[in-house]
Amino acid sequence: MTLSVGNPAPDFSLPDATGKTYSLADLKGQRVVLYFYPRDNTPGCTKEACGFRDRYADYQGKDAIVLGVSTDDAKSHSNFINKFSLPFPLLVDEGGEVASRYGVYGLKKFMGKEYMGITRSTFIIGPDGNLEKAYLKVKAETHADEVLADLDTL
């Protein structure tokens, strides 16, 4: 499934590390930066999460809520949040259902092995619930700055 800018973003309802549920319908009226990442505590994912952490005040200044999503469980998310002092929620998508709706969950290959997983991707969802921007090829080190700069153009 390919998502198109301007179309409604797929709805979701997922728990965070504490069990609080976040749903897109409840976030209407706010700009949402929804970033999908493969795994907690891996080098690229840590760089990306810390990038969002380091610029979090700037995101808040632009009235944007940041939500990370992976297939890791709540305990893994809690450890990741605590280890790196992440100020934003990480949502649990254990079966990859929401990632699938966004077209970023599927067969991956790494070191000769095939497995199902999330492809690092980010979506900016406007206050109206429509998709404003999609990043399907993400460089973890510079991504948070790139998204922040693009918020000024939306």
Q: Which two tokens stand for residue 55?
A: 């610029």
- Point out the least confidently predicted range of 23-27, 31-35, 84-88, 138-142: 138-142
pLDDT over threshold 70, residue 2: no
| Assigned CATH class of 13-151 | alpha beta
Give the pLDDT confidence score for residue 137 in this predicted structure: 83
Three-state DSSP class for 65?
strand
Split at pLDDT 50, 70, 90, the class of 51 is very high
Residue-range domain boundaries for the chain: 13-151
Main-chain dihedrals φ then ψ at residue 114, nearest 5 degrees: -110, 140
The mean pLDDT value for 147-154 works out to 94
Q: Which two tokens stand for residue 26?
A: 């409840």
Q: Which of 79, 6, 7, 73 is nearest to 41 (CA)?
A: 79
pLDDT over threshold 80, residue 94: yes
The mean pLDDT value for 97-117 works out to 91
Split at pLDDT 50, 70, 90, the class of 126 is very high
Active site residues: 45
Q: Which two tokens stand for residue 62?
A: 């632009």
List CB contacts of 33: < 8 A, sequence separation 6 or more.
52, 59, 64, 65, 66, 67, 122, 123, 124, 147, 151
Give the pLDDT confidence score for residue 115 in this predicted structure: 87
pLDDT over threshold 70, residue 30: yes
